[in-house]
Structure 1
Amino acid sequence: MKAIVWKKYGSPDYLELADIEKPVPKDDEVLIKVHAATVTPGDCEVRRFDMHVLFWIPLRIYFGIFKPRSPILGMELSGEIEAIGQKVKNFNVGDRIVCGTSLGFGAHAEYKCLKSNAMIALKPSNMTYEEAASLPTGGTNALHYLRKGKIQPGEKVLINGAAGCFGTYAIQLAKHFGAEVTCVDSTDKLQPLTTLGADHLIDYTKENFAESGKKYDVIFDVVGKSVRQGMKALTPKGRYILATPWVYQVIQGFWCSLMSKKKFIIELAKEDPKDLVYLKQLVEEGKLKTVIDKTFPLAEMAAAHHYVEKGDKVGQVIIKITDQ
């Protein structure tokens, strides 16, 4: 099978298209023919090993000290189940699915084996494979963080970094929960967000939301530049949710929380297939959609990584892997 192989930390140009052996499912696994996957900022961070100094050693041991231990990147995909192990009862051959591979990676290949109890759900019937591929990471993370915010109808929610993988889903989910939504991002990225339900737009190159005097019940911060400054924009009992918990920002957040009644929330999203099922229902009800910026063929993976790292994208960058 064809796959993009990752043999060396660093540049996207180290990614190579290769022929490798097609996997065979174990008794408790399904074999997925992959139709589409994504390239996320997380893929890029791991590829170049851009990790905080405090986590560098344990993560380097996990991913591979001298070279990557897992040779294929990609954390989410959509496709069709081609074969199942003898003990698999919850899926059938021919099921069209979406799934997350987490830090096991492996989505940037024509085939992937996963345990049948992994982060897998049936694909929304009204989505293409390309549209569905980003639900397992972008969609479920946005859902997780906004649930942590316990949004109530009528509350004011600000999303900082609203045009990215998490943000484009978070806008729609916050509106679904009944919020008034303000989106913060750069000039060229803002206008498309109105079609997702954004009520207000802030161009961070021209205005600092934390200094505007406006207050928000919930701030979902995907960027995490200055948590201390951002928490000034919360109401007295507001909730600040940080999706990028680096050490300095975490210290800022907890300190501000201790000095006030404002809540500071960090928690990595847990992988629960029920969240994928919930998102599937929203999609099929017409309440959630995927924003695709660009689609690349598998052979142009390096170009896709370069594009993601430029930081210009709105929504998702999709990899089309096999014909449907």
Structure 2
Amino acid sequence: MRAAVRREYGGPEVVRFEDVPAPVPGAGELLVRVLATTVNRTDCAYRSGHPRINRAFCGWPRPRVPVLGSEYAGVVVDVADDVTSYAVGDRVFGFVDGRPGAHAELVAVPADGLVALVPEGWAPADAAPGMEGAHYAHAFLRVTGLGRGQRALVHGATGGIGTAAVQLLHAEGVEVTAVCDRPPPDPDLLVRLGAATVIDLSSGGRLDDAASGFDAVLDATGHTSFATARPLLRSGGCYVSSDLGRGGQNVALAAAGPLGRALRRRHVCFPLPRGNAALAGHLRELMTRGAFRPVVDRTYPFEELREAYAYVDTGRKVGNVVVTMPDSRWPTS
């Protein structure tokens, strides 16, 4: 099968197209023919090997698994004998963090992981970005326990995680203040996603413009710190970042988080994501009822995957970058 591989860590130039053996589904797995995939922060980290802690999982000194790609939408073409939840011909989408392989014609995925049936009426390119950013965003909600009537500030609101977080928070009845460092092409985008207030840092807005007293400050890009967010939080409020922070400080501070929460002090939580079938089903349900729709910035053909990586590396994408396979349509029969 045709696949995008990297045999060493580096920039987009290390990505090569090769013919490699097709994966065989093991116990509990599905084999999916990929119709659309994405390039996201996870993929770029696996490709570059940065931050270097990624190499502990991806291999040292060279990558263990050459095929890239973590997110996909496609059609099930084979299932292991012990799988009863899916059948050949099912249209599915999902995320395979920790075991990439979706930048290829075929990918094997665990049936009990982050995979779900594609909602009715969704094209492969629309469904492909439905899991990666959203499952990280959901971890924000899980560790903070935010709910109806509370207030949250989302910093980095135009990224893949940020656009998902705004929608997931809004779906839970949380009042959202969205902070971005670049105006999206559609100036009303963040409001349409559910933000009550938008602060655009690129047009003179300042974080200080946000009202204080937030129940949580959620950093979707790693561009703030607890010290920056602390004045914005109410007593007992929580700062959460998708980034480890300088010197791993967010993880260290989160270790004291339970005590801070118990004492009603401002504190840090770290959003370790959990990927399972229950979460996949929840995200699919939100997509089905229109409460969550991944934002797509650009779409590239598979042959231009390196260009897609280069664009994501700029850090300027709004939402998600989708990559379509040569035949990216659902089969008619």
Q: Tell me which moved more, 23-32 or 84-93.
A: 23-32
Pairing partner for 2:191 from 183, 189, 194:
194
Q: Alpha-carbon deviations, 1:96-149, whole Å to 9, x = none?
A: 111221110001001011233332211111322111112221112212211322
In the superposition, the TM-score normalised over structure 2's length comes to 0.89
Aligned partners of 1:227 and 1:253 also within 8 Å: no
Secondary structure in 2 matching 1:289: coil
Q: Which residue matches 2:303?
A: 299
Aligned partners of 2:250 and 2:270 also within 8 Å: no
Pairing partner for 1:273 from 253, 265, 277:
277
1:210 to 1:240, Cα distance in 2 relative to 1, 3 A: farther
Q: Alpha-carbon deviations, 1:41-63, whole Å to 9, x = none?
A: 121122111115xx3xxx43432
Q: Tell me which moved more, 264-273 or 158-167.
A: 264-273
Q: CA RMSD in A?
A: 2.1
1:287 to 1:28, Cα distance in 2 relative to 1, 3 A: closer
Aligned partners of 2:36 and 2:328 also within 8 Å: no
Q: Which residue matches 1:47?
A: 47
Q: Alpha-carbon deviations, 1:138-163, whole Å to 9, x = none?
A: 11221221132222322221100001
Correspondence list, 1:110-129, <5 A: 110-129=105-124
For residues 25 and 249 of structure 1, what CA distance do their matches in structure 2 show? 38
Pairing partner for 1:219 from 208, 217, 222:
217
User: Any gaps of 5 or more consecutive residues in structure 2?
Assistant: none
Q: Tell me which moved more, 224-233 or 93-102.
A: 224-233
Q: Which residue matches 1:209?
A: 207
Q: Which residue matches 1:7?
A: 7
The residue type equivalent to 2:76 in the other structure is I
Secondary structure in 2 matching 1:232: helix
Q: Alpha-carbon deviations, 1:183-222, whole Å to 9, x = none?
A: 1112323822122121111123434324755331121111
Deviation at 1:72, TM superposition (A): 1.0
Aligned partners of 1:210 and 1:230 also within 8 Å: no
Q: Which residue matches 1:36?
A: 36
Pairing partner for 1:71 from 31, 51, 66:
66
Percent of matched pairs sharing the same residue = 29
In the superposition, the TM-score normalised over structure 1's length comes to 0.91
Q: Which residue matches 1:156?
A: 151
- Residues 1:137 and 2:132 are matched in the alignment: yes
1:62 to 1:236, Cα distance in 2 relative to 1, 3 A: closer
For residues 43 and 138 of structure 2, what CA distance do their matches in structure 1 show? 20
Deviation at 1:182, TM superposition (A): 0.7
Q: Alpha-carbon deviations, 1:225-258, whole Å to 9, x = none?
A: 3221112100112122222123134446667985
1:203 to 1:79, Cα distance in 2 relative to 1, 3 A: same
Deviation at 1:176, TM superposition (A): 1.1
Aligned partners of 2:93 and 2:116 also within 8 Å: yes
Q: Alpha-carbon deviations, 1:257-306, whole Å to 9, x = none?
A: 85961232103111111111111111111211111000111111110010
For residues 251 and 82 of structure 1, what CA distance do their matches in structure 2 show? 44
For residues 116 and 251 of structure 1, what CA distance do their matches in structure 2 show? 34
Aligned partners of 2:176 and 2:195 also within 8 Å: yes
Secondary structure in 2 matching 1:46: helix
Q: Tell me which moved more, 21-30 or 217-226.
A: 21-30
Correspondence list, 1:80-99, <5 A: 80-99=75-94
1:245 to 1:18, Cα distance in 2 relative to 1, 3 A: same
Aligned partners of 1:210 and 1:229 also within 8 Å: no
The residue type equivalent to 1:39 in the other structure is V
Q: Alpha-carbon deviations, 1:14-71, whole Å to 9, x = none?
A: 101122222233354321101111111121122111115xx3xxx4343222321111
Aligned partners of 2:93 and 2:118 also within 8 Å: yes
For residues 252 and 103 of structure 1, what CA distance do their matches in structure 2 show? 25
Aligned partners of 1:135 and 1:276 also within 8 Å: no
Pairing partner for 1:166 from 161, 169, 180:
161
Q: How many residues align?
A: 319
Deviation at 1:319, TM superposition (A): 1.0
